[in-house]
Structure formats: structure tokens, C-alpha cells
Amino acid sequence: MRAYRILARLWAWAGLWVAALLWAINVMLGLNLSYADCVKQIHASAMISLAALIVTCLAGVLSWRSARADMTGFSSPRTFRFIGALSALSSLVFGFALIMQTIASVVLTGCER
């Protein structure tokens, strides 16, 4: 199988798995980085959340485009489009959670108890 086809298949899933993974990492970091945010008065949580949000959006776009491109050589292109659309839609939900987390980490200093 040609490399670009393998990549296209991976990209089709990216919106789901990349977004979910980044969101999960961000949740764990948010729980723990607040101590550092408070002590050093940096918005590390905000910066990481924003970066995760941007990558999530990119992953969603990638899923959408790769599924549309139909260059996978997959036996069921309809199913492949389904996967791409499913992943892109999922990235929107995780993106929404990341937006809220980014806003929270901008508004709060990490010192609030």
C-alpha cells in the first residue's frame, strides 16, 4: 500500500483520536499545573490549552479533507467518508471543551482555593 494512502487513513481518524488525546492530556495538566501557575504567576495552563485547541482544529480539518479526498484505495469509500466526518465532528466537541478550558485558565490565576 502506498504511503500516502496509509497516511490518508490515519488522518481520517485524526480528528477523533488527536483531539481526544489532547483534551485528556490537557485535563490532567490543568489539574496539576495550577500549582505552578500560582507560584510562578505564569499562564502555562492557558498556553497549553490554546496550543491543544489549535492542534485539535487542525486535526479536525485534516480528517474532513482526507475523507473528502478519497485517495485511500479503501474498498468502501462511503465508510471512509463516514470515518472522516465522524472524526471531524468529534474534534468540534473536544474543541469546545478546550475553548472553555483555555478561557478558564486565562481568567483564573491558579491560586484560588
Partner 1 sequence: MTESVIGPDTRDAELERPLVDAALENTWATASGFWSALATVDHKIIGRRYILTAFAFLALGGVLAILMRLQLARPEARLIGPDRYNQIFTMHGANMMFLFAVPVMEAMAVYLVPLMVGTRNIAFPRLNAFSYWIYLAGGLLLWVSFVLDMGPDVGWFAYVPLSGPQYGAGKRADIWAQMITFTELSALAVAVEIVVTVFKQRAPGMTLDRIPLFVWSMLVTAFLVILAMPSIMVASTSLILDRLVGTHFFNPAEGGDVLLWQHLFWFFGHPEVYIIFLPAVGMVSTLIVTFARRPVFGYLALVMALIATGILSFGLWVHHMFVTGLPRLGESFFTASSMAIAIPAGVQIFCWIATLWDGKPVWKTPLLFVIGFIFTFVIGGLSGVMVASVPFDAQVHDTYFVVAHFHYVLIGGSVFPLIGGIYYWFPKITGRMMSEPVGHWVFGLIFIGFNLTFFPMHILGLQGMPRRIYTYQPDMPWHGLNLFVSASAAVLAAGFLLFFIDALRSARAGLPAGANPWDAPTLEWATSSPPPSFNFARIPVVYGAYPLWEQREALSVADGLRVDRRELVVTSLVAAEPEARESSPRNSIWPLWAAITTTVMLIWSIFSPWAVVWGSIPVAIALIGWFWPKRVPEDEA
Query: How far, in Å, CA of 28 to CA of 67, rounded?
Result: 31
Residue with cell 466537541: 93
Here the cell at position 86 is 465522524
56, amino acid identity = T
Q: Which of 7, 38, 50, 57 binds partner 1 (CB under 8 A)?
A: 38
Q: How far is the CB of 3 from partner 1 (least distance, A)?
A: 19
Q: How many CA atoms lie within 13 A of 62 on its CB side?
A: 20
Question: Counting contacts by CB under 8 A, is residue 93 touching partner 1?
Answer: yes
Q: Is 13 helix (H, G, I), strand (E, B) or coil?
A: helix
Contact stretch for partner 1 (CB under 8 A) within 51-59, 61-69, 99-107: 99-107
Judged by the rule CB under 8 A, the positions of this chain that interact with partner 1 are: 16, 20, 23-24, 26-27, 30-32, 34-35, 37-38, 45, 74-76, 78-79, 82-83, 85-86, 89-90, 93-94, 96-97, 100-101, 104-105, 108-113
